[in-house]
Structure 1
Amino acid sequence: MTTQLVLAALAGIAAIIILIGWLKIHPFLSLMGGSAVMAIAAGVPYPDLFKSFSSGLGSTLSGVGLLIILGSIIGVLLISSGGADVIVDTIMDKTPLQRLPWAMALIAFIVGIPLFFEVGVVILIPVVMFAAKRAKLPVVLLGIPALAGLSALHGLVPPHPGPLIAIEGLKADLGLTLGLGLLVSIPCVIICGPVLGKMMATWVPIPAREDFLGGGGPTAGDKRPGFLAAIGVVLLPVFLMLIRTLVEVTKNQGSGFGAALVFVGTPLIALTITTVVAMFVFGYSIGKSRDKVNDLVGSSFGPIAGILLIVGAGGGFKQTLVDSGIAKVIAQGLTDAALPPLLAAWIVAVIIRLATGSATVATITASGIMAPLAVGLSPTHTALMVLSIGAGSVFLSHVNDAGFWMVKEYFGMTVGQTFKTWSLMETTLSVVGLVCVMGLSLVL
């Protein structure tokens, strides 16, 4: 029976790899197909073929899906109001030439908190190109720090989809994971951004493209929010969730005030509060009508439909792994191999990432496989396992990853140059992230 379940897992993962990598089928259908293959191979009766898949999809969307939707609303309001432009412009105006790479890393780190990776790239690429052209610097020198900041936040810090999926799958504490994720992200961004970017600029000294001049903000003459207001909204959910964690760690949630802080720091409540605040700061307070704000909120749903479907399907795949007993068998095998759980989680995520090219699929699959091993861990080490999976999920972006081609085309690089810069940066970020996680596990 054990052998059958292991083979079933391999068959399901192989089906996903073939469907995504070879046949180019949408990840939602690929995850659904992989779940079906895995269930059949595991001996699940045909009438119950999608029972676990449907259950997992529903439970995942009811938790993670709502957070992604609220995050998307905040992101759209931030961009459309010019709030993102205000943050970028203020930091750039106060930065001397020699500190520009560090400024780009800081901007990406801040803007990347509420924005999906792809959205952050679209916003920051024109800024990178303009700054590199104005300063007469290689575009890689400024581009790599920006990409490192966005990628680190994308892989390690909620409310991004990957970390949220792993938190849900491993039953980790979101506030604790958020705090540790920010802590791990700082050395990752420093080493893989300004430090590594300086070396890469000598290897690929290409100039900035001149066809990226615009931004995604408001039209000229529109009123924009102030810098402090924009920064405040971006950091508000982070602050609320971290305060909740602090209250729980100090065991003060028994008091009325402590209970209130725990409530407002609950992820769904924190993001709901931030969404309402964003509607005022990025909407009504700068002269946008109620209809305009409603239109902007509505426009935020379309771009994330695909993400929600993939995340939901990932939850279904994970639930099939769990209900069939496959995850328990694989976890026992990893235990018998005497691998440290955090290292095992990173390796599993790396393997799936290399095979499928998808950080999301890598996170989903790894969290499903590692869930049984997380049961006996402390809250801190469960959070660190989430980060270990997140670090593994960004390892070596290559030709089967849409992000690889996105970066290549935006920067006007060859395939070889993209490997020397973007792919190497992602690999380094993954390894540095693992080292930081393992280091923290020794002291926490």
Structure 2
Amino acid sequence: MLSSLNGFALAQSATWSAHDARLLTAAVAGIAVIVLLISWAKLHPFLSLALGATTLGVVAGMPFGDLVDTFTEGLGSTVGDVGLLVALGAMLGKLLTDSGGAERVVETVLGRTTRKTLPWAMVFIASLLGLPMFFEVGVVLLVPVVVMVAARSEQPVLRVGIPALAGLSILHGLVPPHPGPLAAVDALHVDLGLTLALGIVVAIPTAIIAGPLFGSYISQRVDLPPATHLLGQTPDQEEHEHRPSFLAAVAMLLLPVVLMLCKSVADLTLTEGSLGYTILDTIGTPVVAMMLTVLIAIVVLGTGARFSRNKISDVVGSSLPAIAGIILIVGAGGGFKETLVESGVNEMITDLATGANLSPLILGWLIAVGIRVATGSATVATISAAGMVAPMVTELPPAQGALVALAIGSGSLILSHVNDAGFWLVKEYFGMSVGQTLKTWTAMETLLSLVSFAAILVLSVFV
């Protein structure tokens, strides 16, 4: 009898082991398909993620009808939660740019700096402008300004440019309302306001080390000629007859951050159900905060710049085509994440990580690093890693869950190289060779990832 029971237990163990092996194979196959299609076949990330999810589901043994329903459900849910915020952020960024508010911020800060403090000012400018803008938009806006400032101050372009790129990039990786952090917050079901606050805490020292300090170091070792071909693209100070004031532009940049933090303040200090709690909780909801900011910006920036109603409509509408692809990629990432959940891969990964005593912080960072290096996409790395570690976060305290989202974002920044569109964008704008771009941009991105992850690990001890 005892031998029969032992035999049954061994058979059960073998069955589960075979099932786990199949799920692990499915996860590896799905990610491998995404990596190969993006990096080798040069297929659009949206299609790559969809085919990767299909591969994962088929290998895991999901019925095809269930697989389609699962992917579309995840896509729709993610676009509903994240896509609207991405669209509203694009509208705010376009209003700031076209009204001249972004130029006003740049000019005001630069007018109050010295040669020594200029790199620090560039971090500040990039951080402010980077809050509502996507990385690529920020680069297009800032690099001509960087070149102009470097030429006028007779400083190496990298001493001014690296701090600006560091400020933009760290926000792209860690701070909502950028698509990657928003997708991580959505997938992990962690508090957005808390993630935003902790993200800023991590971003400040990281941007300082990888920005002004690294910029001063590398500018002495990589000598670049002035990028004079960009000087003609610098913002024309007379392009806007009427422009918002510096305070108005900064207020619009910071308003969504302040509103989103209201929700966390309400959770920490007020009684749930009270009038004050209800008000702060409502205006701190991300969609409400961004919608209010855009509506206020239309009045403050659009009307302040003497835009007609038709002009305001055109500016807001023209912000949307550029981010359609981003919303599709984020949505497909949500579909991939939902496929991971419904196939059982998430639960299997949780069990493996528990058995190996890997914390969600470390596991999330490592997965994001691997996918980032392979695909070149920070957003794909963030979405995929968040989907895999989501079950491990459910029982964590709110602050620890937020730190896991930040750790994933940190891993998604590392080692940008030739498969990353940002690599080529920076290379061409600064007129660098591939080798010079690796020594500067790639090294800066890696430094951002390592320093931010170290800061996250330190914070995890205290929160």
With structure 1 as the length reference, what TM-score do the two structures score?
Answer: 0.98
Q: Where in structure 2 are there 5+ consecutive unaligned residues?
A: 1-18
Q: Deviations over 1:197-220 (max 9, x none)?
A: 111101112132011122467862
- SS of structure 2 residue aligned to 1:223: coil
Alignment partner, residue 102 of structure 2: 84
Alignment partner, residue 180 of structure 1: 198
Identify the match of residue 307 of structure 2 among 288, 296, 299. 288
8 Å Cα contact 1:80/1:218 also seen in 2: no
Alignment partner, residue 266 of structure 1: 285
8 Å Cα contact 2:67/2:339 also seen in 1: no
* Structure 1 position 328, deviation (Å): 1.3
Alignment partner, residue 254 of structure 2: 235
How far apart are the structure 1 equivalents of 2:304 and 2:217?
45
Alignment partner, residue 328 of structure 1: 347
Letter aligned with residue 186 of structure 1: I
How far apart are the structure 1 equivalents of 2:118 and 2:211?
11
Q: Tell me if 1:152 matches 2:175.
A: no
How far apart are the structure 2 equivalents of 1:389 and 1:364?
9
* Structure 1 position 253, deviation (Å): 4.2
Alignment partner, residue 298 of structure 2: 279
Alignment partner, residue 99 of structure 1: 117
8 Å Cα contact 1:80/1:217 also seen in 2: no
Q: Tell me if 1:24 matches 2:42.
A: yes
8 Å Cα contact 2:100/2:240 also seen in 1: no
Q: Deviations over 1:287-342 (max 9, x none)?
A: 11001100111101100000011011000000000110011111221221112221
Alignment partner, residue 6 of structure 2: none
Alignment partner, residue 5 of structure 1: 23
Q: Tell me if 1:357 matches 2:376.
A: yes
Q: Deviations over 1:388-442 (max 9, x none)?
A: 0000000100111111111111111111111111000100100111111110110
How far apart are the structure 2 equivalents of 1:289 and 1:41?
56
Alignment partner, residue 398 of structure 1: 417
Range moving further from structure 2, 134-143 or 203-212: 203-212
Alignment partner, residue 11 of structure 2: none
Letter aligned with residue 22 of structure 1: W
Letter aligned with residue 307 of structure 1: I
Alignment partner, residue 156 of structure 2: 138
Alignment partner, residue 409 of structure 1: 428
Q: Deviations over 1:127-186 (max 9, x none)?
A: 100011111111111111000000000000000000000000000100000000011000
How far apart are the structure 1 equivalents of 2:235 and 2:188?
36
- SS of structure 2 residue aligned to 1:394: coil
8 Å Cα contact 1:95/1:103 also seen in 2: yes
Letter aligned with residue 79 of structure 2: L
* Structure 1 position 89, deviation (Å): 0.4
CA RMSD of aligned residues (A): 1.1
- SS of structure 2 residue aligned to 1:98: coil
**Aligned length in residues:** 444
Q: Percent of aligned positions with the same letter in both sequences?
A: 52
- SS of structure 2 residue aligned to 1:49: helix
Alignment partner, residue 308 of structure 1: 327
Q: Tell me if 1:200 matches 2:218.
A: yes
Q: Which has the larger radius of gyration?
A: 2
- SS of structure 2 residue aligned to 1:96: coil
Range moving further from structure 2, 304-313 or 284-293: 284-293
- SS of structure 1 residue aligned to 2:141: helix
* Structure 1 position 244, deviation (Å): 2.0
Identify the match of residue 40 of structure 1 among 50, 58, 62. 58
Task: Indicate how the Cα distance of structure 1 residues 202 and 122 shifts in structure 2: closer, same or farther if over 3 A, else same.
Answer: same
